[in-house]
Amino acid sequence: MTDHVRDHDAHVLNDHYDALTTGSGESLVARLRAAFHDAGCDLENLTLDEVAGIDQLHLGGRAASRSLAALGALRSDQRVLDVGCGTGGASRLLAAEAGCQVVGVDITAAFVEVAEWLSAATGLAQRTRFLCADAARTPLPDGSFDVIWCQHALMNMPDMAGVLAEWRRLLVPGGQVLLHEVVAGENLEPLALPVPWARTEATSHLKGRESLQASLEAAGFVPVSVRDVTETALAWRQKHVRREAVGEKTARLPGPALIFGDEFVEMGRNLRDNLAAGKVRILDGVWKLA
């Protein structure tokens, strides 16, 4: 993949995930700080409970992250790379609850800025750090991680072969990949759009389960345990659609609409409908570097 194509992909993703900043002159971190201030929170002493609404931007929220961490039997002596870390929620959860040292990488600069602030504000800056980079070419040394962690991010990455080759380079021998991912379902009808990861087909790069697993195995990753968690994810999304119908404006703490805008309610409904119709499915699992 050429640098020109990579730059274009990065621009498209930044436009999607930081859409509200365009033309407003107000950065994402400034918008979120103002919202937490208005909610009566101490901006430099936030709790993980307070920030969960804007740092767990994947199906299942913290419960899904905890389930994946348990499946991978994470230990406190392990070094973790959180790929597509977003605003850093999983990185902080793994640092706080599993005791891991975590590096988060994301291509969206605004997310990295928010992640750095939230880790400092929640007292986890010593166990987490973040960088803005393409997941297929990170400025990190060979063999520097025991675990690659990735939740709902591969479907935004067109160069999967490049990303998986980078994971192989970065892992120690016998290292693990812990993956929680959206994949294409058996229903091949077009997705209802927008969804949280894409407003148009330009930012959606879904693979089917068999294709994803074949790509991982071709890159040298052997499956240890793989689960279809679609029904759990659908139940979670249905519950949140009902909450979102009431409106985030009634909520005390900031939620994802501050990142995605009012369009997030439609995104959530579409994701629920895509799940229910079998257009997408959700997998989580553990793979080991052969």
Give the span between the Cα atoms of 247 and 221, in whole angstroms: 43
Residue whose token pair is 């740092």 = 55
pLDDT truncated to tens, each residue of the chain (290 aa)? 555 445 555 666 666 677 667 656 789 999 999 999 999 999 999 999 999 999 999 999 999 999 999 999 999 999 999 999 999 999 999 999 999 999 999 999 999 999 999 999 999 999 999 999 999 999 999 999 999 999 999 999 999 999 999 999 999 999 999 999 999 999 999 999 999 999 998 889 999 999 999 999 999 999 999 999 999 999 999 999 988 877 654 568 999 999 998 899 999 999 999 999 999 999 999 999 99
- pTM, two decimals, is 0.93
